[in-house]
Amino acid sequence: MSGATEAAAPLGRARTTTLVTGPIRSGKSRHAEDLLRDHSDVTYVATGRQVDPADPEWGRRVETHRARRAESWRTLETTDVAAAIDHATGPLLVDCLGTWLTAVVDDAGWDDLDTASATVRRETDRLVESLCAATAPVVVVTNEVGWSLVATSASGRLFQDELGRLNAFVSRVAAHVHLVVAGRVIDLGDAPLVPWQPRSRTLDA
């Protein structure tokens, strides 16, 4: 890495994040787990909803994911991913940004999209700034926009737009970006470092 690139790093911090992206059911979560296979002190940050007793099929999916992870790994179910990163003392696997974004908009309310968008901007700032400051390895899983089924509505467009921006922002501060398609991993190489600008100061990705 050249001196000019190093000088552009956010606050001069080392980058510890790997972004793993791809379509739904592409194998990206399994690849993310493999990246941390040699670590015994991993915290798996599940950003989705808690297991619903009325949805046994969802519960089986969650248990299948848990069963293939090392017994020494800890599972943390939370939507406050920034706080999980801030307090981490070991490697983290965050799975995934799509479900995190859904939870953020759920909390803000889908009826007022302007308020929801402002909330997403604020929470995106917190998340990316936490990744910039992370000292332990963080592997972040996300769905690639355009390879997911999204409703053709104002709320659907909001979700696609915000997830696309979020993916782009995380890739700017990541050290590596991997694309997983049909179980095949494409290493997109060292991510070019772009100075992080909080969304409170810019709305463009």
Residues carrying an active site annotation:
65
What residues contact 204, with CB distance under 8 A and at least 6 apart? none
Q: How far apart are CA 185 and CA 40, in angstroms?
A: 23
| Contact assessment for residue 75 and residue 136, using Cβ atoms and an 8 Å cutoff | no
Three-class SS string for the chain? CCHHHHHCCHHHCCCCEEEEEECCCCCHHHHHHHHCCCCCCCEEEECCCCCCCCCHHHHHHHHHHHHHCCCCCEEEECCCHHHHHHCCCCCEEEECHHHHHHHHHHHHCCCCHHHHHHHHHHHHHHHHHHHHHCCCCEEEEEECCCCCCCCCCHHHHHHHHHHHHHHHHHHHHCCEEEEEECCEEEEEEECCCCCCCCCCCCCCC
